[in-house]
Amino acid sequence: MKKAYNFNAGPCVLPKSAIAAGVEALNDFKGSGMSVIEISHRSKDWEAVMTECDTLWRELLHIPDNYRILFLGGGASMQFLMVPYNLMERKAAYLETGVWAKKAFTEARLLGGDAVVKVASSADRNFSYIPKGYEIPRDADYFHITTNNTIYGTEIHEDYDSPALLVADMSSDIMSRPVDVSKYGLIYGGAQKNVGTAGVTFVIVREDILGRVSRPLPTMLDYRTHIKNGSMFNTPPVFPILIMNETLKWIKAQGGVEGIHRQNVEKATLLYDEIDRNKLFVGTAAQEDRSLMNICFVMNHEYADKEDAFLTFAKERGMVGIKGHRSVGGFRASTYNACPTESVEALIACMQEFEKTIV
C-alpha cells in the first residue's frame, strides 16, 4: 500500500483498529452471517453496540448521570437549528470565532431574529485569535461557542464559567482533551473529525434544560423524542456508530482522554516549534490560542512565491491534505487523535528538507 501521511481536516484519520473492525463487521457482524448494514437495529446484537458506545462516552468524558447522549443524523449543521429550537425562548448569545460559529449564529437568527446577539467576534483579524474581555449577557437562554476552529487554527483551551447556559460545538476537538461536562448544558458535534466517520452526530445534553420553550417542536427536532427512543426513533446510522464505538475503544486503550491529550500536546508542540524555527514558515494563529487539532501556517512573506513549490514537494513525500483553506491560504496540518507522531515527524523532516533547497 502507498504510504500516506494523512493531515486531512475531515473526514479524519482513523485508528487502524477501528477500520479493521469496520471491515469485519461489513462482511459478517458478530457471526450473524449478515453485514452490519443489513441487520435489524432492534436486534440484541445492535442494541449492545449502542449501549457500549453510550458507556464509553460516559467513562471517557466522566459524563454525569443527569446527561443524555444522543447519536443522530444531520451533522453539526443540523444542530445549528436544533439548539435554538429547543433552548431559546427570549434571547441567545453567540461567540463568533470562525466560519462554523458564524453559520451557527446565522441559523439561530432565522428563528430568533435580533434576539440572537453576537457578544464578540474575531473577524477583524480573519479569526486568528479567540476574543477575550467581553460580557456574556446573564439574561440569555444560552451562550454558544465553537471550541475549535478548523479553518483558522484557533482553539478555546478551557471550560468557561458562564452565567448563561453554555452550549458548545466541539466537532473538531471532542475527546482530544479533558472536558468538565458539568459546565455545559449541551455539547454537540459531527463525529468525522475525531471520533469516527461522517454520518453520525453526537449530542450530550443535560436533560432538565429541555421542555422549557413555549413553541411547538417538530418531532424530529425535539431532543426529547430521541432521548425517549434511545436514539432509535428512526433507523440510526449503524455503520458510523459502529466506527465511533471502535474509535472510543481505541481512545480508552491509549490511556483515555487524558492519555490522548498528552499525545496531542506532544505532536502540536513538535510542529509549532518547527514552524517557529524554520525561516520559510510562519504561524497564522495567536500563540496563546493555537489549536492542538488544526495547525495553520503560511510562507514567510519573503518566500511567498514558494507556496506551490512546497505543496508539490510535500505531496511527493506522501503528505496528504496540508493545503490550507481557501479563505486563509497557506497550509494546514490536522493532527487529530489518530494522527500518529510519525506523520508529524515526517512533515517536519519535509519542511526542513525544503528549507535546505531554498535558504
Question: Looking at residue 1, what is its pLDDT?
Answer: 61
Question: Looking at residue 248, what is its pLDDT?
Answer: 98
Burial of 299 (0-12, 13-18, 19+ CB in 10 A): buried
Question: Residue 332 in 3-state DSSP?
Answer: strand
Residues of the chain with pLDDT under 50: none
Contact 93, 117 (CB under 8 A): yes
pTM of the full structure: 0.97
**Number of neighbouring beta carbons within 10 Å of residue 297:** 26
User: Does the active-site annotation cover 289?
Assistant: no
**Number of neighbouring beta carbons within 10 Å of residue 230:** 15
Which position among 46, 173, 193, 289 bears the catalytic label? 193
Question: In this structure, which amino acid lies at residue 350?
Answer: C
Contact 71, 53 (CB under 8 A): yes
The DSSP code for 324 is: P
What the chain holds in terms of domains, given with CATH numbers, is 16-253 (3.40.640.10), 256-358 (3.90.1150.10)
User: Does the active-site annotation cover 169?
Assistant: yes
Question: Residue 308 in 3-state DSSP?
Answer: helix
Contact 132, 152 (CB under 8 A): no
d(CA 61, CA 202): 13
d(CA 20, CA 345): 25
Contact 176, 265 (CB under 8 A): no
Which position among 57, 100, 222, 323 bears the catalytic label? 100
User: Does the active-site annotation cover 193?
Assistant: yes
Kindly give the pairing relationship between strand 201-206 and strand 281-283: unpaired
Can you read off the three cell numbers belonging to residue 76?
Answer: 453539526
**Dihedral of alpha carbons 340, 325, 169, 242, sign:** negative
Which position among 141, 169, 173, 289 bears the catalytic label? 169
Q: What contacts 190, CB < 8 A, 6 or more positions away?
A: 10, 75, 76, 171, 198, 200, 201
